């Protein structure tokens, strides 16, 4: 890859038009377009669940679009597999590392075309020789023979970029490359990406951090709810507010929530809590009947705060009081059984539900102990009597209580993962990203449900990176950044005013 001069009018290298991709219960991409030129860094933005990852998977042959066209250098292409996308010069560096830790840097770069001598013996010397130029090109300060396991996360990322370049990638997709590396490393990465731009590579840069977009990118495409909110806009002609508006949009006309009694006495008092994952000392108070919003971008430390509260992550210091009494919660079970916490995980499929099991079993899992009679056994009728009111209250759409949860829509799955805590009589509910990947209508129903629960005296810590959601539902809003609470705002429910106030804390 020699330094070619940059052409005056950059050619359009990849053009995507009218892409549609549907999953059970969700339209992930709807009429999505993207135009990518050689020698540009193109930001792809959007909130969680907006469809960025799906689009990347469509571009790299992991998913086949249901509709729409992909044109590469002007001619239509279809990628049947990741392999064929790679062969066409499209590489991706995922958020998660895709390297074999025990193998060396050079082996990872040349993984699927390891040079051999006779008898299929690996030619180690050739491996290292062939990998070296790519290692140097990304400025990786490590010998080709270093095992990848000994590298830092940022260095591993460079190995992946080197691998992509060695595959003659002319289009490189970077999915949140800065999520897990230090600011210093980010600076270095940006220099490398700048070099690649000069070498006429077309780059797609996915990030949640707007500063980075303004610093690095030439053009931007924004997705919202699976559609284009902005297509191929010149970054220089945008300001931060406009970009934020593209990303989060205006809350559509949504019904006004009914008045709710004001929050009452404190239920959960947190003072100087430090988790083991580098949180600053965190302090806040949650009242009975209150929705306390916890806003922050991905990686701000919100979920680890939640997990520290419920004993999943060991707290290093600080004091937590529940209903006035000092607690030392050591396990999740204790948080649930002794202090009536409930935790609705952001990852309902992995952490919230047993997908193969029935709605009944998933809902009553929290109350089996309470239901048992003398001989330890529980009867189905008792079980159903105990959960039916909750299932009805939440309006879970299911054919029967015996239906397996995996067959429900995302919104109904989410209702079940909330229902089990209501059946379990949880008083303090920590709800993490309740509406990610859930359609607008069900989202609204979930909002009303959360509101209702608070009105009926539950205390709710609502974790969300969805700004309209936080502003709509919260009594107060905590803003989190870099594992610290950087603001506590009384909520006026006025969107413009509040979003400005929140963004001010984040920048």
Question: What does DSSP say about strands 67-72 and 12-23: parallel, antiparallel, or unpaired?
Answer: antiparallel
Contact positions with other proteins (CB under 8 A) in 302-331 = 312
Closest distance between other proteins and the C-beta of residue 402, in Å?
Answer: 6
**Chain length of the chain:** 507
The nearer residue to other proteins, 22 or 444, going by C-beta atoms, is 22
Question: What does DSSP say about strands 41-45 and 202-206: parallel, antiparallel, or unpaired?
Answer: parallel
State the Cα–Cα distance between residues 162 and 141, nearest whole angstrom. Answer: 12
Buried/exposed code over 400-439 (b: 16+ C-beta within 10 A; e: otherwise): ebebbbeebbbbbbbbbbbbbbbbbebbbbbbbbbbbbbb
Closest distance between other proteins and the C-beta of residue 454, in Å?
Answer: 22
Total of chain residues touching other proteins, rule CB under 8 A: 43
Closest distance between other proteins and the C-beta of residue 121, in Å?
Answer: 31
State the Cα–Cα distance between residues 414 and 364, nearest whole angstrom. Answer: 15
Contact positions with other proteins (CB under 8 A) in 171-190 = none
- State the greatest distance between any 2 C-alpha atoms of the chain, in Å, as a whole number: 83
State the Cα–Cα distance between residues 330 and 341, nearest whole angstrom. Answer: 13
Closest distance between other proteins and the C-beta of residue 369, in Å?
Answer: 6
Closest distance between other proteins and the C-beta of residue 144, in Å?
Answer: 33
Q: Is 433 in the site for other proteins (CB under 8 A)?
A: no
State the Cα–Cα distance between residues 155 and 143, nearest whole angstrom. Answer: 12
The nearer residue to other proteins, 357 or 481, going by C-beta atoms, is 357
Tell me the per-residue interface mask from 223 to 262 with other proteins, x by CB under 8 A, - otherwise.
Answer: ----------------------------------------
The nearer residue to other proteins, 42 or 360, going by C-beta atoms, is 360
Candidate residues 7, 198, 278, 368; the one interacting with other proteins per rule CB under 8 A: 368
**Tokens representing residue 19 in the block:** 């892409």
Piece of 5-13, 32-40, 378-386, 478-486 that binds other proteins (CB under 8 A)? 378-386
The nearer residue to other proteins, 12 or 371, going by C-beta atoms, is 371
Tell me the per-residue interface mask from 381 to 410 with other proteins, x by CB under 8 A, - otherwise.
Answer: ------------------xx-xxx-xx-x-
State the Cα–Cα distance between residues 505 and 245, nearest whole angstrom. Answer: 17
**Which residues, 6+ apart, have CB-to-CB distance to 13 below 8 Å?**
36, 37, 38, 72, 73, 170, 171, 202
Decide if 482 contacts 300 (C-beta within 8 A). Answer: yes
The nearer residue to other proteins, 353 or 436, going by C-beta atoms, is 353
**Residue whose entry in the numeric block shows the structure tokens 């020699």:** 2
Cβ-based neighbour number of residue 259 at 10 Å: 7
Q: How far is residue 225 from each of residues 76, 153, 254, 283, measured CA to CA in Å?
A: 26, 31, 16, 34
State the Cα–Cα distance between residues 199 and 262, nearest whole angstrom. Answer: 60
Contact positions with other proteins (CB under 8 A) in 342-361 = 343, 345, 350-358, 361
Closest distance between other proteins and the C-beta of residue 299, in Å?
Answer: 21
The nearer residue to other proteins, 218 or 384, going by C-beta atoms, is 384
Closest distance between other proteins and the C-beta of residue 66, in Å?
Answer: 10
Decide if 258 contacts 454 (C-beta within 8 A). Answer: no
Closest distance between other proteins and the C-beta of residue 377, in Å?
Answer: 4
**Which residues, 6+ apart, have CB-to-CB distance to 164 below 8 Å?**
91, 92, 93, 172
Candidate residues 64, 242, 276, 379; the one interacting with other proteins per rule CB under 8 A: 379
Decide if 397 contacts 416 (C-beta within 8 A). Answer: no
Candidate residues 264, 369, 397, 425; the one interacting with other proteins per rule CB under 8 A: 369
Contact positions with other proteins (CB under 8 A) in 11-50 = 22-25
Candidate residues 188, 190, 284, 332; the one interacting with other proteins per rule CB under 8 A: 332
The nearer residue to other proteins, 15 or 346, going by C-beta atoms, is 346
Per-residue 3-state assignment (H helix, E strand, C coil) for 251-312: CCCCCCCCCCCCCCCEEEEEEEEEECCCCCCEEEEEECCCEEEEECCCCCCHHHHHHHHCCC
The nearer residue to other proteins, 46 or 352, going by C-beta atoms, is 352
Decide if 394 contacts 452 (C-beta within 8 A). Answer: no
Closest distance between other proteins and the C-beta of residue 411, in Å?
Answer: 12
Closest distance between other proteins and the C-beta of residue 379, in Å?
Answer: 7
Closest distance between other proteins and the C-beta of residue 346, in Å?
Answer: 11
Closest distance between other proteins and the C-beta of residue 84, in Å?
Answer: 23
Burial class of 255 by CB neighbour count within 10 A (0 to 12, 13 to 18, 19+): exposed
The nearer residue to other proteins, 83 or 333, going by C-beta atoms, is 333
Candidate residues 221, 366, 412, 491; the one interacting with other proteins per rule CB under 8 A: 366
**Which residues, 6+ apart, have CB-to-CB distance to 487 below 8 Å?**
477, 478, 479, 501, 502, 505
The nearer residue to other proteins, 283 or 407, going by C-beta atoms, is 407
Candidate residues 118, 259, 377, 507; the one interacting with other proteins per rule CB under 8 A: 377
Q: Is 337 in the site for other proteins (CB under 8 A)?
A: yes
State the Cα–Cα distance between residues 63 and 19, nearest whole angstrom. Answer: 11
The nearer residue to other proteins, 98 or 403, going by C-beta atoms, is 403
Q: Is 422 in the site for other proteins (CB under 8 A)?
A: no
Residues in touch with other proteins (CB under 8 A)? 22-25, 312, 332-333, 335-337, 343, 345, 350-358, 361, 365-366, 368-369, 371-372, 376-380, 399-400, 402-404, 406-407, 409, 420, 424
């Amino acid at each position: 890859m020699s330094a070619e001069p940059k052409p005056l009018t950059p050619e359009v290298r990849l053009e995507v038009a009218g892409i549609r991709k549907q999953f059970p219960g969700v339209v992930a991409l709807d009429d999505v377009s993207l135009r990518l030129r050689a020698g540009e860094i193109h930001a792809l933005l959007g909130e969680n669940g907006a469809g960025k990852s799906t689009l990347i998977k469509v571009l790299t042959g992991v998913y086949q679009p249901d509709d729409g066209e992909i044109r590469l250098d002007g001619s239509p292409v279809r990628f049947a597999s990741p392999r064929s996308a790679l062969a066409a010069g499209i590489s991706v560096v995922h958020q998660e590392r895709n390297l074999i830790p025990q193998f060396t840097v050079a082996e990872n770069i040349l993984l699927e075309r390891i040079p051999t001598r006779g008898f299929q013996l690996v030619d180690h010397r050739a491996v290292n020789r062939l990998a070296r130029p790519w290692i140097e090109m990304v400025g990786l300060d490590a010998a080709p023979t270093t095992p990848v396991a000994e590298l830092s996360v940022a260095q591993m990322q460079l190995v992946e970029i080197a691998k992509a370049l060695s595959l003659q990638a002319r289009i490189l997709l970077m999915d949140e490359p800065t999520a897990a590396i230090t600011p210093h490393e980010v600076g270095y990465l940006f220099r490398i990406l700048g070099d690649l731009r000069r070498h006429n590579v077309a780059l797609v840069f996915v990030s949640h951090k707007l500063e980075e977009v303004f610093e690095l990118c030439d053009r931007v495409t924004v997705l919202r709810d699976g559609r284009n909110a902005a297509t191929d806009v010149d970054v220089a002609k945008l300001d931060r507010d406009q970009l934020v508006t593209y990303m989060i949009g205006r809350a559509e006309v949504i019904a006004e929530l009914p008045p709710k009694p004001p929050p009452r006495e404190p239920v959960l008092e947190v003072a100087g809590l430090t988790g083991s994952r580098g949180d600053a000392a965190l302090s806040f108070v949650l009242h009975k009947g209150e929705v306390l919003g916890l806003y922050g971008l991905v990686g701000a430390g919100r979920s680890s705060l939640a997990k520290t509260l419920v004993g999943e992550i060991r707290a290093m210091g600080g004091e937590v009081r529940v209903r006035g009494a000092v607690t030392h919660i050591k396990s999740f079970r204790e948080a649930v059984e002794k202090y009536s916490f409930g935790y609705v995980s952001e990852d309902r499929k992995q952490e919230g539900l047993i997908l193969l099991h029935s709605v009944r079993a998933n809902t009553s899992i929290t109350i089996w102990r309470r239901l048992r009679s003398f001989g330890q056994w529980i009867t189905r009728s008792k079980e159903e009597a105990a959960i039916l009111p909750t299932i009805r209250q939440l309006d879970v759409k299911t054919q029967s209580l015996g239906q397996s949860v995996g067959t429900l829509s995302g919104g109904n799955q989410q209702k079940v993962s909330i229902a089990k805590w209501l059946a379990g009589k949880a008083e303090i509910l920590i709800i993490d990203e309740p509406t990610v990947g859930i359609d607008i209508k069900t989202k609204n129903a979930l909002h009303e449900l959360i509101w209702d629960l608070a009105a009926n005296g539950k205390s709710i810590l609502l974790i969300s990176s969805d700004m309209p959601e936080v502003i709509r539902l919260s009594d107060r809003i905590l803003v989190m950044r870099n594992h610290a609470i950087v603001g506590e705002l009384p909520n006026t429910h006025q969107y413009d005013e509040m979003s400005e106030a929140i963004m001010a804390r984040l920048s």
